[in-house]
Amino acid sequence: MDHSQLLSVFKSRFQSSPRIFRSPGRINIIGEHTDYNDGFVLPAGVDREIVMVIGSNNSDQFNVYSLDEGEEVSFTLNDYTSVSNGWAQYIIGIIDQLKKAGHTVPGIDCVFGGDIPIGAGMSSSAALECATLYGLNELFGFDLDKQAIALMSQKAENEYVGVNCGIMDQFASVFSEEKKAIRLDCRDLSYELFDLDLKDYQLVLVDSMVKHSLASSEYNVRRAECEEGVALLNGKYPNVTSLRDATITQLESVKEGMKPKVYKRCNYMINEISRVTKATEAMNKHDLKELGRLLYETHEGLQHEFEVSCEELDFLVNFTKNREEVLGARMMGGGFGGCSINLIKTSMIEVFSAEIQNAYKKEFGKESSIYMVNSANGTSEIIQS
């Protein structure tokens, strides 16, 4: 994202000397709902980001202007809880975490903006949190390492914003590297980088532009169903403390005592955790056909076993099947709306985009958006020339 406009707006509004920080959005190639089951995920940072221009103003006042919203909020460490603007909660949540950790946070002036589509599942909120914390850490020398930045950003969203997200979004925003995907172990936060060499193909997101109201309530139901499955497995296999530890053979041995829905959730989850490892093996072999097959397999599981898809997402994925230019597709994210992620031959993206948008509008009477994404480096400072 071009930061010159942000810098120009900053200089017109404030007198302090600024520095510029950025943090990317992310995609998740495979590994859906695995984070709260101690499994693996496979995210990558993308070339859409939040950019923040921040300067210390030598006061106790925080002045933050959102270029995209055209709004400014001002507050101090004594009255920040009175700020009601939704976008400001992510920034204030970071300041709240720093304060709770015993850090003295001096006042700042800030202008920020971004090109991450809101609600498309690319984690604009995590990018905003991580850019804020990284910038404050660099400005004021809090001596936080990258893992601490990711964890504190997650905690800000959990505790201040009130969204019970896992660690994947913030971790990917901070740790991502260009042309790499991160296999993150959500149990111990160990990770490994894999080459994201897509050759003549590209990852393309198709945004359904819908978000069904079931998303948040059903998310909690799925967590509870997975926990119910673990409790039954643990009764026979004490070493199974999460679905990460379980095998399909073990699941089959307790199937009779399980509710059918719980069995389906567990079956999907055990296979999905395994699919992340299979995907990295395919990437190591540069086997894009196998990677695409795994994407389709994941969607089948999310649609029929985990039951978090919706008719719009199913339509978008089904549209890609038996098309030579598409190797694989699936719904991406928590479910009940958002985007599909597609592995498409680069030379055919323009034709594919027009055809899927026309078909989607004909079927549902609404527009869809297309986002071509490339991998990107994690949170960093932009050095002014």
pLDDT band for 50, please (50, 70, 90 cuts).
Answer: very high
CA distances from 59 to 91, 107, 213 (A): 18, 5, 43
Indicate if the pLDDT at residue 194 is higher than 90: yes
Q: Assess if residue 300 is contained within a domain.
A: no
Q: What's residue 103's pLDDT?
A: 97
- Per-residue pLDDT tens over the stretch 106-140: 999 999 999 998 878 899 999 999 999 999 999 99
Kindly write down the DSSP assignment for every residue of 108-127, as one continuous string.
EEEEEEE-SPTTSSS-HHHH
For residue 162, the Cα-to-chain-centroid distance in whole angstroms is: 16
Mean pLDDT value across residues 3-30:
95
**205 in a domain, yes or no?**
no
Candidates 169, 185, 197, 200; catalytic one: 169
DSSP 3-state of 215 = helix
Q: Concatenated DSSP letters for 30-44?
A: S--S-GGGT-EE-EE
Asked whether residue 201 carries a pLDDT value surpassing 90, the answer given is: yes
Q: What is the DSSP string of 135-183?
A: HHHHHHT----HHHHHHHHHHHIIIII-----SHHHHHHHH--TTEEEE
Specify the pairing of strand 62-66 against strand 108-114. parallel
User: Of all residues in the chain, what percent carry a pLDDT higher than 70?
Assistant: 100
Looking only at the bridges linking them, the beta strands covering 43-56 and 19-28 are: antiparallel
Predicted TM-score (pTM) of the model is 0.94
Percent share of the chain, pLDDT over 90 = 92
**Which residue segment(s) compose the domain that 94 sits in?**
4-197+376-382
Average pLDDT over residues 176-196: 96
Q: DSSP letter for 17, please.
A: P
Average pLDDT over residues 232-236: 98
CA distances from 140 to 55, 91, 145, 329, 366 (A): 11, 16, 14, 44, 47
| 314 noted as active-site residue | no
Residue 8 lies in a domain: yes
The answer to which of 45-49, 69-73, 115-119, 250-254 has the lowest mean pLDDT is 115-119
Is residue 42 situated within a structural domain?
yes
- CA 307, CA 309: separation in Å to the nearest integer? 6
Residues in the chain: 385
Looking at residue 51, its pLDDT comes to 98
Model pLDDT for residues 271-286, shown as the tens digit of each residue: 999 999 999 999 999 9
Question: What would the two tokens of residue 292 be?
Answer: 């695409």
Mean pLDDT confidence for 28-47 = 96
Least confident window among 4-18, 119-133, 204-218: 204-218
User: Tell me, what's the pLDDT at 164?
Assistant: 79
Average pLDDT for residues 328-350, to the nearest whole number?
95
Give 108's strand partners.
56
Rounded to 5 degrees, φ, ψ at 246 are -90, 155
User: 57: part of which helix (H) or strand (E)?
Assistant: none
Burial of residue 15 (CB within 10 Å: 0-12, 13-18, 19+) is: exposed
pLDDT at 294: 98
pLDDT at position 215 over 90: no
What is the pLDDT at residue 219? 86
Task: Tell me which residue has tokens 């202007």.
Answer: 65
Asked if residue 385 has pLDDT above 80, the reply is: no
Q: What is the CATH number of the domain that holds 67?
A: 3.30.230.10
Task: Please give the C-alpha separations between residue 222 and each of 212, 215, 226, 269, 307, in angstroms, as whole numbers.
Answer: 16, 10, 6, 11, 9
**Is 214 domain-assigned?**
no
Helix (H/G/I), strand (E/B), else coil: 240: coil
Averaged pLDDT for residues 49-57: 97
Is residue 366 domain-resident?
A: no
**Residue 299 within a domain:** no
Is 290 within a domain? no
Number of domains in the chain: 1
